[in-house]
């Protein structure tokens, strides 16, 4: 029996991964990544970097992407809860411009695999949340791009975090989706 359940989403390439929890009175153990099992599911992934961030309730980070060096990401919450969102920016994709959101929490232990070619962001729903993610390419600061979190054309249904939104000045000025498409000639 596999230790990680892999479920495709409505957008091809996006997957929700659910590790099998082995627990008893001492606590629990789970595999959060197993290359062999993911290969059997058709996910041929090579991760080169691990990242972790901590944020407080109401923090919204994103929607971020890398222009020339796109990163695939395997995201999970190790504490707290977030609403994690991916927007399909793959040229020629039948789902171009569509988004998918998943609640990731320490409690549900779900992971969200976001392949290269997507914008990514999250909103913190708990008092505090720590997010870990594996990336398939290195981060290049000069290669950053961003879409506005509340773009009317994307119409992402963000949940109410129960607090005022906290964002970086940079994220408040991210591009509109229509301007991104115009720049790309799409």
**Catalytic (active site) residue 64:** yes
Write down the catalytic residue from 69, 133, 139, 180.
133
pLDDT score recorded for residue 37: 92
Q: How confident is the model at residue 2 (pLDDT cuts 50, 70, 90)?
A: confident
Q: Edge-to-edge strands of the sheet including 60-66? A: 99-105, 81-88, 118-124, 60-66, 144-146
CA angle 8, 9, 14 (to 5 degrees): 80
Q: What is the pLDDT of residues 137-165, one digit of tens each?
A: 999 999 999 999 999 999 999 999 999 99
Predicted local confidence at residue 1, as pLDDT: 56
Query: What is the spatial distance between Cα 69 and Cα 135, in angstroms, rounded to a whole number?
Result: 11
pLDDT band per the 50, 70, 90 thresholds, residue 103: very high
pLDDT tens profile 172-181: 999 999 999 9
What residues does each domain of the chain span?
A: 50-184
Q: Give me the pLDDT at residue 53, please.
A: 97
Average pLDDT, the chain: 96
14, pLDDT greater than 70: yes
What percent of the chain shows pLDDT beyond 90? 96
Structure tokens at 7: 């479920």
Residues above pLDDT 70, as percent of the chain = 99
The predicted pLDDT at position 73 comes to 98
Segment 112-142, tens digit of pLDDT? 999 999 999 999 999 999 999 999 999 999 9
Instruction: Tell me the average pLDDT across 75-80.
Output: 98
| Fold classification of 50-184 (topology level) | Jelly Rolls (2.60.120)
Q: How far apart are CA 123 and CA 106, in angstroms?
A: 15
Q: What is the pLDDT of residue 139?
A: 94
Alpha-carbon distance of 43 to 15, in angstroms, equals 10
């Amino acid at each position: 029996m596999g230790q990680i359940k892999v479920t495709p989403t409505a957008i091809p390439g996006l997957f929700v991964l659910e590790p099998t929890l082995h627990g008893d009175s001492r606590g629990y153990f789970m595999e959060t990544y197993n290359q062999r099992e993911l290969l059997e599911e058709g996910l041929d992934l090579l991760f080169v970097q691990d990242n972790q961030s901590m944020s407080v309730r109401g923090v919204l980070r994103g929607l971020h992407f890398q222009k020339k060096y796109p990163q695939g990401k395997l995201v999970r919450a190790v504490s707290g809860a977030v609403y994690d969102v991916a927007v399909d920016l793959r040229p020629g994709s039948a789902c171009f411009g569509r988004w998918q959101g998943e609640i990731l929490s320490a409690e549900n232990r779900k992971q969200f695999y976001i392949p290269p070619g997507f914008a990514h962001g999250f909103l913190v729903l708990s008092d505090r949340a720590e997010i870990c993610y594996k990336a398939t390419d290195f981060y290049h600061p000069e290669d950053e791009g961003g879409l506005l979190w509340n773009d009317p054309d994307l119409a992402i249904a963000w949940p109410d975090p129960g607090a005022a939104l906290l964002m970086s000045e940079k994220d408040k000025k991210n591009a509109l989706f229509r301007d991104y498409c115009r720049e790309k000639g799409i």
